[in-house]
Structure formats: C-alpha cells, structure tokens
Structure 1
Amino acid sequence: MHEFMHRLGGLGDVDPLQYSGPAWSPYLVGALIGVLSMLTFYFSNKPIGASTAYARIAGMIGLAVAPKHTRSLKYFEGKPPKVGWELMLVLAVVAGAFLAAWTGGELTGKFLPAMWQDRFGSDSYLLRTLVTLAGGVLMAFGARMAGGCTSGHGISGTLQLAIGSWVSAICFFIGGIVAAMLMYAT
C-alpha cells in the first residue's frame, strides 16, 4: 500500500504519507463540522451546502450584465439572486481555510504544490490554472446535476442517511481516486 501511495504522489521525492506539516487533526475538524451541521439544522432548518451560492453569484453577475434575461430564467423565479447564508458559508469556508493554513504553518504562498511540481515541472503555471478551472467547472456542473455538492451530499445528506447522498459521496471518492491516479500514477 505504501508503494502505491508513493506512486500516486508522483515520480520523485515527494511522498504524501511523509507529510511533515502540522495540519489540524482530522478528528477535531470532523467533530467541528458535525457540530456546525447540527447548529445549522437547529437554527435554520436547512442543510449545509455550497453549490447554491455559486448559482446565486452567477445570478447576481447576470443581473448586472443582462438583467432582463436573468429575470426570465426559471431557476431564479423561486430563488432570486441575493446574498444569502449559502454565500456567507462559502466566504467563511475560504476564511477558515486561510486561518487553518496560517495557524497550521501551511501558508506557503506557492501556487504550485511540491507534488505538482514533482510530476509536471516547476514552470507549469498555465497547466495548473487550466486544470483548476476545468475541475471547478466540472464540479459545479456535477453538483447542479446531482442536486447538491460535496458539502450538501457528503455532510448534510449522509448525516440524514439519504441514500442518494451516500451514493454521491461514494462517487466523489471514486472520482477523486481516479483523477489522482490519472494525474500522478506512472
């Protein structure tokens, strides 16, 4: 298994199993996500989810660029583009990621992680940008098609024992493993 993980991590010196960073405990983070989910259900009676925030951002941009067309879209009839709790959640996730990286000593200021550089070279900025954008577009498309994102299905849906969410979460892991193998395996 160690050899497989080393190969998955790249061809050279970077071994993901020998990570030396003082990352936050996954047990603590998992417990905090569980508490956040319980509080969200208790206070708002809504599950945690992020993909709606991106649809709302697109709607707000649409209102600024093409208001007549945006108002005519069926999706925005019942869900008008506005700053809601979902957008605040996404902003809090970004702020929390920064805080975690800063307090965990992982704030490197580098655009290309060591595993990426080891596999694709230290001058692959354009490739990294294109892969990141393509991955984001595919994730957003998949989230809209699946009726939820990794947080909506993977956290809230699985906590509610929703079969569709469990299937989605399993598919997230399978997709991540396949993508990592395609990108990093020899």
Structure 2
Amino acid sequence: MSSTQAVVIYELICLSIIISASYLAPEIHGSPRLNPVIGGLLIGGAQAASLFLTKSPVGVSTAYERMGQYICRLTGQSPSNHSWPSPSPVIFALGMLVGSWGLGKALGLTPVIETMQISVARSMVGGAALIVGARTAGGCTSGHGISGMSTLSKASFVTVGAMFAGGIGLSSILRPFA
C-alpha cells in the first residue's frame, strides 16, 4: 500500500468517526460550547498551517525545554558563545493560551466547573510528570497525537496508546486516594 493510499484510508476513518460522533452525540440546546467537529477541523487547519508556514508540525512540549535553555543561559549555566535558541516554541505555546482565551471570549464560553477538586500540589506534581514524560517520549500529546498520527508515525501510535494505558492504569491506582 502506498503512503498516499494509507493517508486516504486514515482520513476516511477519521471522517467516519467525526460523522458518527456528530450523529450519536446528544444535543445540548442553548449550550455555548464549540462544536467538537468544528474544534477538530480548527486543530487540523492549525496543523496544516503550521506545516505550510513553518515547515514544522504542531507540538508544544518543546516550549518547556526551550524555557529551561533560556533560564540556563540567563543564569550562566550554559556557554554564552552559543547563539540564543529560537523562541518559536514559546511563541506557539503563548499563542495557544491567548488564542483559546480569545475564542472563549468571542464565543461567550463559560469555564467548565469540575466536580472533582484537585489540590494545587497534586496538579503541580501531575504537570511536572507530564512534562518529563513528554520530553522523554520525544514529544507531547499534541506532537504525537496530532502531528505524529497524522503522518502515520508508528512511534506516535505506540506513544499515544501508552499515554492512554498509563493514564487509565494510574488513575485506577490513585482513585482510592482521591
């Protein structure tokens, strides 16, 4: 099977999932939430734009690594004879924050109220574990889940499967302590 045929088949599978989700999802009248199909199309459009404009796929975990490089540079922990690393990943991460905030304001979206209260300490430990895991895996959920899977990367399929398996397993272990 050629790579073109594989991509077409993958896209048809994704399209069937979108159509199924749209057909089977319950409608919530009066809900100002962004339709998930529109959200998915926007993410796909962002991926296409990123590839076209920057020749690099969508991914955000590099921003954490880059911030670490900046901190090392500013504190004298890295050689000053090297040029400053590109700020592109940090700008992309900030754009995600500002863009999601702006879309929420433009559409009048309200924050989602979570019923499960998670402590700040637990959130910080979880976030740190996520960053370490993302950099160890060579990419984050968006890098592997969106960019890697859209290019049919075997490593990304394995990584995304491992993310789900690890998350499900760890949550079942930690649930009694919640």
TM-score after normalising by structure 2:
0.70
After superposition, the Cα gap between the structure-2 partners of 1:183 and 1:101, relative to the gap in structure 1 and judged at 3 Å, is: farther
Q: Distance in 2 between matches of 1:172 and 1:104?
A: 32
- Equivalent residues in 2 for 1:58-97 (5 A)? 58-65=68-75, 67=76, 69-71=77-79, 81-97=84-100
Q: Deviations over 1:106-164 (max 9, x none)?
A: 237xxxx44124xxxxxxxxx62111111111111111111111111111100000001
What is the CA–CA distance in structure 1 between the aligned matches of 2:32 and 2:162, rounded to whole Å? Answer: 29
Counterpart of 1:162 in structure 2: which amino acid?
A: S
**1:51–1:148 Cα contact (<8 Å) kept:** yes
* Structure 2 portions without partners, runs of 5+: 1-25
* Contact 1:48-1:152 at 8 Å conserved across structures: yes
Q: Which runs of 5+ in 1 are unaligned?
A: 1-16, 118-126
Number of aligned residues: 149
Q: What are the equivalent positions in structure 2 for 1:1-20 lying under 5 Å apart? A: none
What is the aligned counterpart of 2:111 among 107, 111, 133? 107
1:157 aligns with 2:148: yes
2:41 to 24, 31, 46: 31
Partner of 2:55: 45
Deviations 1:36-79 (A, max 9, x none): 111111222111111111111111112222x1x2239xxxx6xx
Contact kept in structure 2, 1:37 and 1:156, CA below 8 Å: yes
Between the aligned partners of 1:157 and 1:141, the Cα distance in structure 2 is 19
Q: Which has the higher contact order (CA 8 A, sep 6+)?
A: 1
Share of identical aligned residues, percent? Answer: 29
User: Taking structure 1 as reference, are residues 97 and 86 closer, same or farther at Cα in structure 2, changes over 3 Å only?
Assistant: same
TM alignment of 1:94-173, pairs within 5 A: 94-102=97-105, 103-107=107-111, 113-117=113-117, 128-173=119-164
Q: Normalising by the residue count of structure 1, what TM-score does the alignment of the two structures yield?
A: 0.68
> Quick one: distance in 2 between partners of 1:53 and 1:149?
11
Deviates more, 1:31-40 or 1:165-174: 165-174
Residues 129 and 33 of structure 1: is their aligned pair in 2 closer, same or farther, counting only changes over 3 Å?
Answer: same
Q: Secondary structure at the match of 1:71?
A: coil
In the aligned structure 2, how far is the partner of 1:93 from the partner of 1:60? 20
